Amino acid sequence: MIGKKEYAQTNELLNARLEEKKVLIAVHRGAWGGNVIENTIPSFELALGMGADMFECDLSKSADGELFCFHDGYEQRLLNQKENIKTMSSEQIDSLVFQNSIGDASGKHVERFEEVLAHFTQGELFNVDRAWPILAETDEAMRKYPHVLKQAIIKTPVKEEYLSFFQNCPVKYMYMPIVYNMDELRKVLSYDQINVVGVEAIAGSADSEMFEEENLKWIREQGLYVWVNSITLSDHHVLSGTFDDDKALREGGDAAWGVLMERGYNVIQTDWPSQLANYRNRKLGV
């Protein structure tokens, strides 16, 4: 069972999906291309339709306190804007139009986080990313939609201020720390009132602590899933010990995704959900 017994009701959907699929597929910012824009409801729906078990949603807060589904830093690429979205008012953000994959106006607008929370009501799992500077605001928004307690997994880097927030928050959201070594994980587990369900393990190389089979086994023995990012952010930004999406697409699933599954990771985040789902289903017979 994933998570502590006292949080079993909150974690029941996640546990059921892991029991059914053995390895879950998470999709980085949803599936996007053409006129479907990342971090939007259509991109999340597309990801789920392509075989994903959950999607990732990035958050940013406007200057006047509204939460939007947007990864700041990509304003130029997606909105043809140089200004960071966090410095804009919600009215400004609402007026912006996304560029599509060929740089033309898509007719689509940046979506508010509450639009996503209100839309996904049928047990769709999702990961809330980049919310750590705005945890109080994220909590306030999510409390309006009680159904998402069983659907949303919030992640943060390992810092005392974030851990203290989840320790003291009366709503015990599913929580996943981003860990680079085992000492960080032990720090997280020293907090006894956090609903830790899994670990995003960052393996910068095949020699990383977070790539060692014994460490991954120990994590699973604590009742936690182990999440790995097979996404390829750049040719120098390694997250999965070099066993990434690019390698899987070039050389076949066994060369990368299969290695990650055999190593003991049981959630894989990808940019290629359909290909990974086909591979996972054949390999594991699900």
What class does CATH assign to 5-59+118-284? alpha beta
Domain ranges of the chain: 5-59+118-284
33: pLDDT confidence band, cut at 50, 70 and 90?
Answer: very high
Q: What is the pLDDT of residue 108?
A: 97
Q: What is the pLDDT of residue 44?
A: 98
The three-state (H, E, C) secondary structure of the chain, written as one string: CCCCHHHHHHHHHHHHHHHHHCCEEEECCCCCECCECCCCHHHHHHHHHCCCCEEEEECEECCCCCEECCCCCCHHHHHCCCCCHHHCCHHHHHHCCCECCCCCECCCCCCEHHHHHHHCCCCCEEEEECCHHHHHHHHHHHHCCHHHHHCEEEEEECCHHHHHHHHHCCCCCEEEEEECCHHHHHHHHCCCCCCECEEEECECCCCCHHHCHHHHHHHHHCCCEEEEECCCCCCCCCCECCCCHHHHHHHCHHHCHHHHHHHCCCEEEECCHHHHHHHHHHHHCC
Task: Tell me: pLDDT of 82 over 90.
Answer: yes
Q: What is the pLDDT of residue 235?
A: 80
Give the mean pLDDT of the chain.
97
Q: Which residues of 7-32 are buried (b: 16+ CB within 10 A; e: fewer)?
A: beebbebbbebbeebebbbbbbbbbb
> What's the pTM value of the predicted model, to 2 decimals?
0.97
